[in-house]
Structure formats: structure tokens, C-alpha cells
Structure 1
Amino acid sequence: MTNADLSVSSSSTPPAAPTPVRPEEFDEQTRAALGALDHRAVRVVADGRPERTRSGYAQDWKSWTKFCEQSGVPLLAVTSGTLTAFVEWLWTQPGWKAGTSLAPSTIDRRISGTVVSARQEHAVKLEEGVARLARNRLAQLVKEMEKSAEKRGRGQAAPLLVDHLVAISAACPDNLRGIRDRALVLMHFAVAGREHELAANRVRDYALTSAGIQADLRVSKVRPRVVPVPYGTRPSICPVRAWTAWKEAAELTDPDAPAWPRLHSRWNTVMESGLQPESVGDVITRAGARAGIQIRFTGHSPRRGLATSSRMKGHDQIVIAKQGGWAPHSKVLAGYLEVVDQWEDNALLGVL
């Protein structure tokens, strides 16, 4: 190879790429721009959370703020020690109803909401596992509560079972409110829904097929899902027939209208706005009372009732979990099913 060839070969070599600037070498303007992008990303994700989740976090942070004001803890001093003190303070606070105390599950949620709010709303850098000590303290308080037989909170929701559905359906009056309430209770049970999932539904979310309804629960704080709802063998408690009757009676022709609208308190006419999640629960409670059932049902009762009733028919936990949007091995769901299983899989069967 000649010197000329070497010269041509050398000149065709691409220039070396510039060395990238390392993060610790960023100037103030770059740091500010990156910080703005980080803040925007946090806000976009936070604003995209369901309204009920945002409202819950706001309540949790409000409780934390009150604790800080009373104890003299700086508002943004979210540490293992302050969270533990927060738990002990919450343990002494009254519950939602006069004469009651906060449930352990509510306190646990207050911890989560405070940590999330500190990180996302106030950009506080917290140590990993910052809430571990506080939750250990909560577990100790729960053990002490169990030893003393103390009752806290409302307890678990009573399951709304098939026999209850029969009574509720029969007791619904033959008017627009009764037709809506019947359809809402039956659909709530069939999809094992959460109150906010039903409240967010639009007419288009219930697609009628030859086999039943494909219910699109597209708004969920856990995970959206499409739930198949087949025709029931008993027309009086068939969710598909009940939904069809309600849709026709209310003249729900706009696919984007709320599936479960409010009704005028005096005239019982259909209003433009939909039921709020709390109002969905109120419908369930009133429906049980109207039927004369001596159990106070809540918005969670149909969800637990589907899990219980399905297990009584021998369905597997995975199948039930898929219908209601539980994690496949959910401890909460397993607890519901254990109530049924304790009689079917009992060490005394065949012994006595």
C-alpha cells in the first residue's frame, strides 16, 4: 500500500463522537429544565389517577398535616420515626362515626397516602422502606387490640348472596327508580365491581351479545377489565335482562351517557349526571333495607357476595379473581373464600 493510499484511508475515518456531558457536570439551566420535566411527569401521572384515589390521598395528607400541626413535626419530615409517631397518633383518633375508632386498614392507607404524597406532590426524597417501622408498630397495636377484644372500624362488608338478590329484586317498585336499582344491584353483583367502577360506566360499556353482556370496567384504581355477564337462569335476577329493561325504560340512547344516572328526588326523571361512587353504595344499602333484610349492606357487599356465592358453587379462586379483578392469589379474596372452605374442607368431616 502506498503513502497515498494511507492518506486516503486516514481521511475517510469518521471523527470521534464528542464525549457526553456527565450529569454531575450539568449547568444550572440544564438542571432546571430537567427538574421541570420531572415535575411535569409526576403531575401527568398523578392527574391520571382515578378521582377516588386522588381524593383518598388528599385525605391522607390532610390527616398528616393535622398530626404535624399538633405534634410540632415539620410537614415534610416524613421519616421512619415520624411515620411511627403518626400511627400512634392515628390510633387515638375517632372514626367516621361517633363512638368508633379508626380501623387498622384505614391507618395503613393513611401511611401509604402520606408517603406517596410526599414523594409525588412535594418531591421529597424518602429512604427505601421508610414506612416499614410504622407498619410494624401498627401490627403490634393490632395484636394488642385482638387480645383485648377491641372493635375498630365498620368491619368487613356483609356478603350480598343470591337469596338476598331474589328478595331485593322482588321488593323493587315497578317504576323508574325500582328498575334502575334492580339493574344496578344485579350488575354490581355480576361483575363483582367496586363502587367507582360502576359509577364510571357509560351506556356503551355494556355491549349486548348473543350470550349476554360484555361489561367494560375501563375505569379502575386497580386494573381495568372486560367482564362477561351471561344470561341468568332465573329471569327475576338476570343482570342482562335487568340492564335491558333499565336501558329501555330510561331511554338511554346516547352511548356516552352515564349508565347509572341520578334520578330527580321528586319527579324520578333521569338527570344528566351519573351516580357518584358513594351513591352507588347508598343504592345497595337502601335496596337491602327496602327488602326487609336485617343486614346492612354496603357498596362492597355485592363484590364479596359474588366471591362467596361463586365459591359455594365450586368455582376456582383463579376464575373468581378474574371476574372481580382481584390478583390471582389475593389474600383478601382468599379470606372471603376461606369462610366457605372451612365447612367443605374441615378436619372433622367423617370423623364425628
Structure 2
Amino acid sequence: MNDIEPAAGREPEPVTDARTALVTRWAERHGVEAAARLAQAEDLADAVAAEIRPANTDDTYTKSWRVWERFCAAQRFPTTEGSRGALVAYVAWLLREGRQRPGPGGVLGYAPASARLHLDAAIVGLRNPKAVGRAGAPCPVTKDDAAEARVALDGLEVKLIKAKERRGRGQAVAADPDGLYAIAAACDTSLEGRRDLALILTGFHYASRASEPAGLLNADVAVRPKGLVISVLTGKTKHSVRSPKIPYASDLAICPVRAWIAYREALVAHGGSAHSSPTDSAFHWIDQHGNIRGPLGPDGVTEAIKRIAARAGIPVKWTGHSLRSGLASTGRKRGKDAVAIADQGGWARHSRSMLGYMQRDEGWDDNASAGLT
């Protein structure tokens, strides 16, 4: 414990009044030496929390905190008071005029889903200054006040719906086997074509987010006698640190294992033995002339999915999340166990988002209106 130090290159956190009061109580109860050691343990806990929190979570909270700061400046409210009135007013402001630039249709208000994210981040930032990179002590936000702001947001969303105003992009269209067949038919045997097919087929089978194939290395995709084992380490939660297995498919045209092997063999043949290294990126950006460029990033993965689906003539536009929702909805249709689907895709079991992907496709096969006309 005596060797605990702040992380390299990081300034020690300022001691807050709350921490000082806590250490003082410890000293009164247990003595000065014990209090000092308990304070060191608090510093270690803070350092561990900062180390394990995903960078994209920090980034999201920090960006949303700036929205809260804009609101407080406009209303001349202190940024460190999350009262019932301030939070409800924040919700109304987010939906009415919160955006700095007009969104679709020239609307200045956020979509309700975005407003929820900003509200949650403001509550987190008030309660935990370090989560949003602000100095100072935590500011209490009661559960009742936070709940009332969320109820207000739900009610205002209903009013928008009644006023026939729709905001946001909605849920991503789910990939499905028909789409996979169309994509397989549209992918040629060029290096780019083989990469496209491997990206889509493997991503579908482990319900990939756009960030996940972008974060994979060659060593993270292991070929085994029964198929592939993908070591996914770039997800947002503990459930996303997983090793999903992808078996060989019975149909060669849409077999993710064979598509991956063919792509990596073509990559080495085209670009040299460096691409057989375990540390080589799993997926590369390939330009229009077939030249291998740098690793494919999350935005590149999203754009590739859109482009590949459009080239295949899929009538409803796929997005970067279509592969993820596709595994859940297709797995449910095929009678797969919900727990197995959750484990494969890195959802928490009984995740609301996963269940939402499943439920929106129900009601078509056993539909009261089907076949009436």
C-alpha cells in the first residue's frame, strides 16, 4: 500500500471537502495512521475505476456534461445543483432547443433517446465529478428527483408523438439470411470482395458492434477444427469481453469460417507475410486500386457495411448496428435460447435492447391479418 502512486503522466486528484471529512472521521475512529492507509485505499479505488472505465464511456459522459453546462449557462443556473426543477427544466430544454445546430427537418430539439442519454450523463456527472472530468465535490441528486425528470421526459415524448413529430433514426434494420445471401452473391474474388464477405459474415455471427471488428487483431480470430473463436475485447461492458464461437456453415456460400480463411490467405498473398503476424489488424482498409492501407476503424466498418449492403441491392438500408440486431432477431426466429444469444453477442442476460431486437420481428408469422386478402 505504501507504494501506491498516481498513474504515470496523470496529476493527483484534488482532495475534496467530502474526502477530507471522511478521512477526519476515520482518524477519530481508528487513529491517524489507519486513516492515512484507508485514504490510500480510496486513491487506489479511484485509479482502478478510471483504468477500467471504457474510453468511449468517458467520452460520452464528458460530451453530455458540456450540454448540461450549456443549459445551465442559458438558464443562469449553477452547474452543481441537480434539483427537481432544474432536471425537469433540462429535459424540456433538451427537447425544445438543446441542439447547437438544427437536426433533420431543421429541428433544434434532441430526439427523446438522445435526451435520455444527456439526462443520465448529467445525473452521473453531478453525483460523480470524475466521470465527466470536472473538479469539485459530488452533488446529491435524489432518486425521486431523477425519477421525476425521467417521467417528464416520457410524457413529453408522448406529446411529440401525438403532434406527429418523429425524431431520431430509430432502431437499425436487422441483417437477415436473405441479405447475407445477396451480399455473398455481390462479393467477387478480389481482395476487397473477400474482406467484405468475411466482415459481414463473421460480424453477423457474433453480433458485432462497429467498434469490435475494428479492434480485432489477427490473433483474436482463431481457426479451430469446428470453426472460429473470436476474442472480443473492445465492448462496452463486462459481457462484451467474450469469446464467441462461430461454427462452419452447411452452405458454403455464406460460411463465415471459410470466408475468413479465404480473406486472410488473399491478404497475405497480396500484401506479404507481414499480414500473417498475430498483431496484424483483422480488417484493413483497401482502396479502389486494391492497395492495402491502414486498419479499418469503427467509422470505416460502419461505412463498409452500408456500402456492401447497397451494392448487394438490399432494399432496406443497413447500418453499422444491423449485424448486431440481426443475430438477436434471427436467433429468436430459429428458436435459439435467449441466454445463448446474449452470451454470443455480449448482452447482459435479459438485456432490454436484446429483447427489443427479438420482439420487433414477432407477430409476423402468427399474425391475425395474414392471408386474409
| TM-score grouping bracket, smaller chain normalisation | 0.7 to 0.9
User: In the alignment, does 2:194 pair up with 1:190?
Assistant: no
Mapping of 1:66-105 within 5 angstroms?
66-92=70-96, 93-94=98-99, 97=104, 99-100=106-107, 101-105=109-113
User: In the alignment, does 2:292 pair up with 1:270?
Assistant: yes
CA distance change for structure 1 residues 262 and 348 in 2, over 3 Å: closer, same or farther?
Answer: closer
Once the two structures are TM-superposed, the CA of residue 98 in structure 1 deviates from its matched residue by 5.5
Once the two structures are TM-superposed, the CA of residue 28 in structure 1 deviates from its matched residue by 9.7
1:295 to 306, 313, 316: 316
User: In the alignment, does 2:60 pair up with 1:56?
Assistant: yes
Counterpart CA distance in 2 for 1:176 and 1:285 is 18
User: TM-score, normalised to structure 1's length?
Assistant: 0.83
User: In the alignment, does 2:247 pair up with 1:206?
Assistant: no
Q: 2:345 matched to which residue of 1?
A: 324
Counterpart CA distance in 1 for 2:291 and 2:104 is 33
Q: 2:18 matched to which residue of 1?
A: none
Answer yes or no: is the 8 Å Cα contact 1:52–1:196 preserved in 2. no
1:23 to 26, 29, 38: 26
Once the two structures are TM-superposed, the CA of residue 177 in structure 1 deviates from its matched residue by 2.0
Percent same amino acid at aligned positions? 35
Match of 1:207, SS?
A: strand
2:250 to 233, 246, 252: 233
CA distance change for structure 1 residues 115 and 256 in 2, over 3 Å: closer, same or farther?
Answer: farther
Match of 1:141, SS?
A: helix
User: In the alignment, does 2:141 pair up with 1:137?
Assistant: no
Counterpart CA distance in 1 for 2:216 and 2:195 is 14
Once the two structures are TM-superposed, the CA of residue 320 in structure 1 deviates from its matched residue by 2.0
Counterpart CA distance in 2 for 1:291 and 1:70 is 48
Q: 1:218 matched to which residue of 2?
A: 233
1:165 to 180, 198, 202: 180
Counterpart CA distance in 2 for 1:313 and 1:69 is 53
Number of residue pairs matched by the alignment: 330
Counterpart CA distance in 1 for 2:344 and 2:156 is 35
Q: 1:11 matched to which residue of 2?
A: none
- Tell me the C-alpha RMSD between the 2 structures: 2.9
User: In the alignment, does 2:120 pair up with 1:107?
Assistant: no
User: In the alignment, does 2:196 pair up with 1:181?
Assistant: yes
Deviation string 1:135-174 (CA, Å, 9 cap, x unpaired) is: 1111111221222232110011111111111111222243
**Which deviates the most, 58-67 or 330-339?**
330-339
2:342 partner letter: A
Counterpart CA distance in 1 for 2:371 and 2:304 is 44
Match of 2:354, SS?
A: helix
Match of 2:222, SS?
A: strand
User: In the alignment, does 2:337 pair up with 1:337?
Assistant: no
CA distance change for structure 1 residues 161 and 65 in 2, over 3 Å: closer, same or farther?
Answer: same
Answer yes or no: is the 8 Å Cα contact 1:42–1:120 preserved in 2. no
Q: 1:126 matched to which residue of 2?
A: 140
Deviation string 1:40-90 (CA, Å, 9 cap, x unpaired) is: 633542343223222212221121122122221222223333222221111
CA distance change for structure 1 residues 207 and 34 in 2, over 3 Å: closer, same or farther?
Answer: same
Q: Which runs of 5+ in 1 are unaligned?
A: 1-20
Once the two structures are TM-superposed, the CA of residue 209 in structure 1 deviates from its matched residue by 0.7
Once the two structures are TM-superposed, the CA of residue 244 in structure 1 deviates from its matched residue by 0.9
CA distance change for structure 1 residues 239 and 350 in 2, over 3 Å: closer, same or farther?
Answer: closer
Answer yes or no: is the 8 Å Cα contact 1:203–1:258 preserved in 2. yes
Answer yes or no: is the 8 Å Cα contact 1:304–1:336 preserved in 2. yes
2:59 partner letter: S
Match of 1:341, SS?
A: coil
CA distance change for structure 1 residues 266 and 188 in 2, over 3 Å: closer, same or farther?
Answer: same
Match of 2:363, SS?
A: helix
Counterpart CA distance in 1 for 2:358 and 2:165 is 25
1:255 partner letter: P
Counterpart CA distance in 1 for 2:196 and 2:103 is 26
Match of 1:75, SS?
A: coil
Once the two structures are TM-superposed, the CA of residue 39 in structure 1 deviates from its matched residue by 5.3
**Which deviates the most, 50-59 or 204-213?**
50-59
